[in-house]
Chain A
Amino acid sequence: MGTLPDEIKPAMQGVLPAHLVTCALDGTPNATVVSQVYYVDPDHVALSYQFFSKTIKNIRENPRALASVLNPETFESWDLEIEYDHSETSGPVFDTMDMQIEAIASMTGMKGIFKLRAADIYRVISATKNVGERIPLSEIGRESGTS
């Protein structure tokens, strides 16, 4: 039994952007928005490496990170503790991500400009569904009704 349950898959299709928090060696945190956290297998996810960024710099020196993904149908959020494992520049995971990026890049006239440099593979340490943090929709309705 892996760390990622099947029900998390809709949150990993890039419909809603995800948040990614990394940390530099000196402890300075960095939070950013990433367009998609890709599902690889029950114990791994992948992030696209397109441009060199503060996130990439942090990850290469301090591999631990936290990704927060949202299910676009239920708006349930998940926190994933992840650890950078390795980068791939070929193989099925890279191909799948590369094809998607190329398809969209070609649709926006940026074929060859906006492209995948590598698929960064992360091991998933834990996946936690944030239960009870949201205000149920029924309650929002009740509150607005009473005010």
Chain B
Amino acid sequence: MAEEKDTPMEIKQQIAENQQIIDRLNRELARKNNEVRIIQQISSEITSTLDLDRILETILSAMDRILGFQHAMILLKDQSADKLKVAAGRGYDHTTIGAEVAFGHGVVGVVAERKKMMRIGNIGVSVRYLMAVRANLQEAGQPDLSDTAKLPSLPNVQSQLAMPLLVKDRLIGVLVVESPKPNAFDELDEVLLTIVANQAATAIDNARMSQMVEQLSRLKRFFSPQLAELILVGGTEDPLKTHRREVTVVFLDLRGFTMFAEQVEPEEVMGVLRDYHAEMGRLILEHEGTLERFTGDGMMIFFNDPVPVPNPAERALRMALAMRERVQELSKKWRKRGYDLALGIGIAQGYATIGAIGFEGRWDYGAIGTVTNLAARLCGEAKGEQILVSLRVAGEVEDLIETEEVGPLTLKGFHKPVPAFSVLRLKSNA
């Protein structure tokens, strides 16, 4: 350069360029100086709470206020499946909360799958280019093209910078900033967002853990510990919210219990109940039933909720048969003491409204519907050692059992006589 003689035009150009470089360096320096402040500020804001929504809101608002990222989303990994859900967003006209992104799909999905950050500044042109390739392939009869999926993002997005939220290599979610401008993010943005992402991951994870512990202790008041954990791990919708589902309902109680309770000392009654509850409880767990409640000698159990199970009717029936057998053994012991007790069971299947029923301080998990009433009435009609099932249940398990029609029965709460079947035994091949 020294050998060439600069013309004034080139010198002017050089000066302008130098000024541009100086401006850029100044901007970068200002942002660099900001880094320490940013780390301190965001860190103290998000680690001071365990409220997940507040943490997400704080991260997004800090990124907007302090870092100038106007369009940002936080997506959290689903507990059980390889997908993400938008948990919070800022700078969007339409609400994207709850929108899902499958692993491997789009910038965010690929970042989640590879657990590596991605910065891209040419989304629009790349997509247009590949759509043209796609059209050519389609014309050439390429068979393996899949549908183009709609992803939650700005409609005219050009740039994205997406960071995996990791805690010890475990993916919590993805933090993404977007812009409708091409090349909107540079290496410095990568550095800043990495810092935010690291802190966000830890804060979100802590909040989620504490949320889970809280939820687990709440669920344990309603369900067995195993079931409570299953509900949490399975990522099932909160079962305590009122919902409607088809369930198989089993009612049981002991014939002769009222008379027995009148005749013997309460301690004796409690002893019999303890044995009976322990044995029935074990069989309920074994068959993955949900104990809705017990009242003295009566119990209500249902299947297919809160955790859906295959063949709920068959499970209910096999449990009922096992219970009948077990109580027969118990009653041999009871008879020796002079107590004449036998088990009656009613089973029905249908839709019920299920959820937490009660009031603050005393909640129960309950099912309400004709199906529970029918199971209770069938139980009421059953003689000692008899299992009565509704037409629906008999149809579901007809390959498994031999039955005998006992109906139609006139039952309280049902204006027409109801067909009913008594379960004799399992078929030899079942």
Binding site for B on A (CB under 8 A): 7, 9-10, 13-17, 35-36, 72-73, 95-96, 99-100, 102-114, 131-132
Contacts and interface: CB of A to CB of B under 8 A. Distances in A.
A34 to B, nearest CB: 11
Interface in B90-140: 104-107, 109-111, 114, 116, 118, 120-123, 125-127, 129-131, 133-134, 137
Contact of A15 (B10, B21, B183): B183
Contact of B118 (A9, A73, A100, A107): A100
B429 interface: no
Contacts of B36: none
Contacts of A96: 118
B265 interface: no
20 contacts: A7-B20, A14-B122, A17-B125, A73-B183, A96-B118, A100-B126, A102-B110, A103-B109, A104-B123, A106-B104, A106-B110, A106-B149, A107-B105, A107-B148, A107-B149, A108-B131, A110-B146, A112-B144, A113-B144, A132-B10
B120 A113 contact: no
B428 interface: no
Given A102-B104, A110-B137, A13 B182 contact: yes
B147 interface: yes
Contact of A13 (B107, B122, B134, B151): B122
A17 B158 CA distance: 15
Contacts of A13: 121-122, 182-183
A13 B23 CA distance: 22
A15 B121 contact: yes
A1 to B, nearest CB: 14
B134 A99 contact: no
A17 B151 CA distance: 25
Given A99-B118, A108-B148, A15 B111 contact: no
B82 interface: no
Nearest to B147: A109
A108 B134 contact: yes
Contacts of A108: 127, 130-131, 133-134, 148
Listed residue (B120, B130, B149, B158) with the most chain A CB atoms within 10 angstroms of its CB: B130
Given A110-B145, A113-B137, A35 B109 contact: no
Contact of A99 (B116, B146, B158, B182): B116
B134 A110 contact: yes
Contacts of B33: none
B186 interface: yes
A107 B116 contact: no
Given A9-B186, A10-B183, A110-B134, 4 more contacts: A35-B129, A106-B110, A109-B148, A110-B146
B13 interface: yes
Interface of B: 9-10, 13, 20-21, 104-107, 109-111, 114, 116, 118, 120-123, 125-127, 129-131, 133-134, 137, 142, 144-149, 151, 158, 182-183, 186
A35 B131 CA distance: 14
B183 A131 contact: no
A10 B148 CA distance: 29
Contacts of B109: 103, 106
A72 B122 CA distance: 11
Nearest to B132: A108
Contact of A72 (B13, B131, B151, B183): B183
Nearest to A51: B133
A136 to B, nearest CB: 10
B10 A107 contact: no
A108 B144 CA distance: 12
A89 B186 CA distance: 25
B13 A99 contact: no
Q: List 10 A-B pairs, minimum CB-CB distance, nearest first.
A: A14-B122, A13-B121, A108-B130, A15-B182, A109-B146, A103-B107, A104-B126, A103-B110, A109-B148, A15-B122
B146 A111 contact: yes
Nearest to A108: B130
Nearest to B21: A7
A130 B186 CA distance: 24
Given A95-B114, A99-B111, A108-B130, A14 B149 contact: no
Contacts of B127: 104, 107-108
A110 B148 CA distance: 8
Listed residue (A7, A16, A102, A132) with the most chain B CB atoms within 10 angstroms of its CB: A102
A69 to B, nearest CB: 13
Contacts of B151: 107
A103 B146 contact: no
B116 A95 contact: yes
Contacts of B120: 100, 103
A16 to B, nearest CB: 8
Nearest to B126: A104
B118 A110 contact: no
A104 B146 CA distance: 13
A17 B20 CA distance: 25
Given A104-B123, A107-B106, A131 B13 contact: yes
Contacts of B106: 103, 106-107
Nearest to B9: A132
A32 to B, nearest CB: 14
B113 to A, nearest CB: 9
